[in-house]
């Protein structure tokens, strides 16, 4: 991970750099916003910018957005400068870090920005076979399409392929096509020349050039718009890129990996994905099985995460009891490895001193069931699949209770509800078109319920808890007669307003991934609904 520190951080550069380096990050320093912008324009890989609030953080963020450079910025200020913090967040900073910096807070932010651990743990024969195939094809230059449900480990497999390839000592550059707004993605990939568009004050090197000699991961490729798909196809065919506003093409030598948790073939059929590009990318397809289809991986992954989070939280490493393992192995794992990771993180924090027992394994959701013939009345509206505000509140309380480190200070001091980074295990289910196959009800799940397989909403389908709703209908009673999509949209927009437009906070509070939130907002925009601007109220 590469961190760019901008400004003096109130004399705390040394402390902040030390903490960052102890977490394996490399640190670059820029004394001013101008120097920082020059570094970012040069296409040096920067994963996170930490900017001193005594500098003009707003100007930095505006310049980044004007120049179509997409990088998370966190603001840092001495003590609890609430005004400075609120201003920075309003300007679009994703978080506020009070100085002197705390190691735990920095670690949590790093973790939220990039999922740093790249070890690929496995034991189940199905996964072993997938990895054998991956290793076999890694040394070729062929493009590979990696598919699998959300949270199965597509990105981690891409890093594995890069490590095993003969490009391992060259850069591995990942671009999330879903997380980067459409108008920025082209610049992000291909770079631009000075004057290419209003705001392009200097040449900017894109990810293709940054990855030269190495591997470029195009994550969530299905989200790339069709016009950009045409440009990408040309790059793959010609092995050269055109910077925006550039007069001559630039040769690049890049191996492309692409991931998708959607059914790309269906996308091709519906005209949303170019068929020729699909064939170009899909020279080899590695499909990662869902976690429930490789139960042999569950105990080893659980132990790995217990070790990881015990170390991160300075807690003793405790064994997982056989009963707890049994609960884990029987769960349906809609959120796959990511859900297991979050579950074990929570277990590490709440388990007793001697072992991680079944009581520390808090599971939510259950296997999708076939749609009932005639659903009982309670299953309509939220009961079936929509977000229950009380469940959301419950999740947020849980998130902030077990991860106090990452609560945004400015946000906390404004008296608003707090949310941790996305450890809910629900965060990335986002519209999985690869519907998990119906499976038997998980007897170990607390929120056992029956939900139709074709849930109309994609966010909170694991949260609906029929029991909770029917025991006290006061909140939901007022909503009867409205559609789930309608209420969901209102909840999302209100939460966003509450967070001054800050996407990261809103996603945390809603218990969904930032990507799911962005997709929803894009959809609302398309539908003509007014969506709060990033960083504004």
Ligand X SMILES: Nc1ncnc2c1ncn2[C@@H]1O[C@H](COP(=O)(O)OP(=O)(O)OP(=O)(O)O)[C@@H](O)[C@H]1O
Instruction: Name the residues that contact ligand X, by CB under 6 A.
Output: 115, 117, 119-122, 148, 150-156, 261, 301, 337-338, 341, 428
Binding-site partner at residue 505 among ligand X, Mg ion, none, CB < 5 to 8 Å by type: none
Q: Write down the least CB distance from residue 338 to Mg ion, Å.
A: 9
Smaller CB separation from ligand X, 120 or 350: 120
| Residue 52 interacting entry, from ligand X, Mg ion, none, C-beta within 5 to 8 Å by type | none
Distance CA(110)–CA(114), nearest Å, equals: 6
Residue given tokens 């293709």 in the structure block: 208
* Closer to ligand X by Cβ: residue 17 or 261: 261
Tokens of 115: 């999922």
Looking up tokens 């990261």, which residue turns up? 504
Residue facing ligand X at closest CB distance? 153
Distance of CA 484 to the CA centre of its chain: 24
**Partner whose binding site includes residue 327, from ligand X, Mg ion, none (CB under 5 to 8 Å by kind):** none
To ligand X, the closest distance from the beta carbon of 472 in angstroms equals 34
- Minimum distance from residue 150 beta carbon to Mg ion (Å): 8
User: Rounded CA gap, 1 and 327, in Å?
Assistant: 35
Q: Which tokens hold the place of 69?
A: 């450079």
Kindly tell me which of 30 and 306 has the beta carbon lying closer to ligand X: 306
**Please, which residues bridge with residue 75 across strands?**
51, 96
Look-up of token digits 């490590």: 163
Distances (CA, A) of 414 to 169, 280, 401, 402: 46, 51, 18, 21
Q: Which residue number has the CB closest to Mg ion?
A: 155
- Positions in the binding site for Mg ion (CB under 5 A): 154-155
Smallest gap, in angstroms, from Cβ of residue 133 to Mg ion? Answer: 19
Cβ nearer to Mg ion, comparing 345 with 515: 515
Task: Indicate the residue among 17 and 259 with the shorter CB distance to ligand X.
Answer: 259
CA atoms within 13 A on the CB side of 304: 16
| Distances 218 to 155, 174, 224, 281 between C-alpha atoms, Å | 10, 6, 9, 10
CB of 205 to Mg ion, least distance (A): 24
CB of 220 vs Mg ion, minimal distance in Å: 7
DSSP-derived pairing of the beta strands 2-6 and 48-52? parallel
| DSSP-based three-state secondary structure for 241 | strand
Is the Cβ of residue 97 or residue 221 nearer to Mg ion in the bound state? 221
List the single partner that 280 binds among ligand X, Mg ion, none, CB under 5 to 8 Å by kind. none
Give the 3-state secondary structure percentages of the chain, helix then strand then coil, rounded to 5. Answer: 45, 10, 45
Report the partner that residue 427 touches, choosing among Mg ion, ligand X, none (CB closer than 5 to 8 A by kind). Answer: none
Name the residue nearer to ligand X (CB basis): 220 or 488.
Answer: 220
Report the side by side order of strands in the sheet with 73-78.
26-30, 2-6, 48-52, 73-78, 95-99
Beta carbon of residue 291, minimum distance to ligand X (angstroms, whole number): 8
């Amino acid at each position: 991970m590469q961190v760019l520190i901008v400004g003096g951080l109130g004399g705390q550069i040394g402390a902040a750099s030390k903490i960052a380096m102890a977490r394996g990050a490399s640190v670059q320093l820029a004394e001013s916003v101008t120097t920082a912008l020059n570094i970012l324009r040069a296409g040096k890989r920067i994963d996170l910018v930490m900017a001193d609030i005594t500098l003009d953080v707003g100007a930095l963020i505006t310049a980044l957005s004007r120049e179509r450079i997409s990088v998370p910025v966190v603001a840092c200020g001495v003590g609890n400068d609430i005004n400075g913090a609120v201003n920075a967040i309003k300007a679009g900073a994703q978080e506020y870090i009070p100085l002197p910096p705390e190691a735990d807070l920095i670690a949590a932010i790093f973790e939220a920005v990039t999922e740093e651990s790249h070890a690929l743990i496995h034991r189940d024969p199905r996964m072993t076979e997938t990895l054998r195939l991956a290793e076999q094809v890694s040394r070729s230059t062929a493009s590979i399409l990696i598919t699998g449900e959300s949270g199965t480990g597509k990105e981690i497999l891409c890093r594995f392929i890069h490590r095993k390839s003969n490009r391992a000592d060259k850069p591995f550059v990942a671009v999330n096509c879903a997380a980067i707004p459409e108008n920025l993605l082209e610049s992000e990939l291909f770079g631009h020349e000075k004057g290419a568009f209003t705001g392009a004050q200097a040449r900017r090197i894109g990810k293709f050039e940054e990855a030269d000699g190495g591997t470029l991961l195009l994550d969530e490729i299905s989200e790339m718009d069709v016009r950009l798909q045409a440009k990408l196809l040309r790059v793959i065919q010609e092995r050269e890129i055109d910077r925006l506003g550039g007069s001559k093409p630039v040769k690049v030598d890049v191996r492309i990996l692409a991931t998708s948790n959607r059914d790309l073939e269906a996308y091709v059929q519906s005209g949303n994905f170019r068929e020729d590009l699909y064939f170009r990318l899909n020279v080899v397809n590695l499909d990662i099985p869902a976690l429930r289809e490789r139960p042999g991986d569950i105990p080893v992954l659980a132990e790995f995460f217990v070790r990881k989070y015990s170390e991160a939280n300075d807690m003793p490493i405790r064994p997982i009891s056989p009963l707890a393992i049994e609960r884990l192995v029987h769960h349906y794992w809609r959120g796959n490895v990511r859900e297991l990771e979050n579950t074990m993180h929570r277990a590490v924090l709440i388990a007793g001193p001697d072992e991680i027992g079944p009581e520390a394994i808090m599971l939510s959701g259950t296997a999708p069931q076939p749609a009932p013939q005639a659903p009982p009345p309670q299953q309509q509206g939220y009961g079936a699949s929509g977000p229950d505000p009380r469940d959301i509140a419950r999740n947020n309380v849980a998130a902030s209770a077990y991860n106090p480190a990452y609560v945004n200070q400015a946000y906390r001091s404004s008296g608003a509800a707090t949310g941790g980074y996305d450890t809910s295990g629900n965060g990335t289910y986002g519209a999985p078109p690869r519907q998990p196959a119906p499976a038997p009800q998980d007897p170990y799940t607390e929120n056992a319920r029956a939900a139709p397989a074709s849930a109309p909403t994609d966010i909170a389908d694991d949260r609906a808890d029929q029991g909770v709703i029917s025991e006290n209908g006061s909140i939901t009673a007022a909503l009867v007669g409205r559609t789930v999509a309608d209420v969901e949209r209102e909840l999302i927009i209100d939460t966003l307003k509450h967070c001054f437009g800050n996407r990261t906070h809103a996603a945390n509070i809603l218990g969904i991934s930032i990507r799911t939130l962005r997709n929803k907002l894009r959809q609302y925009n398309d539908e003509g609904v007014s969506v709060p601007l990033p960083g504004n109220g």
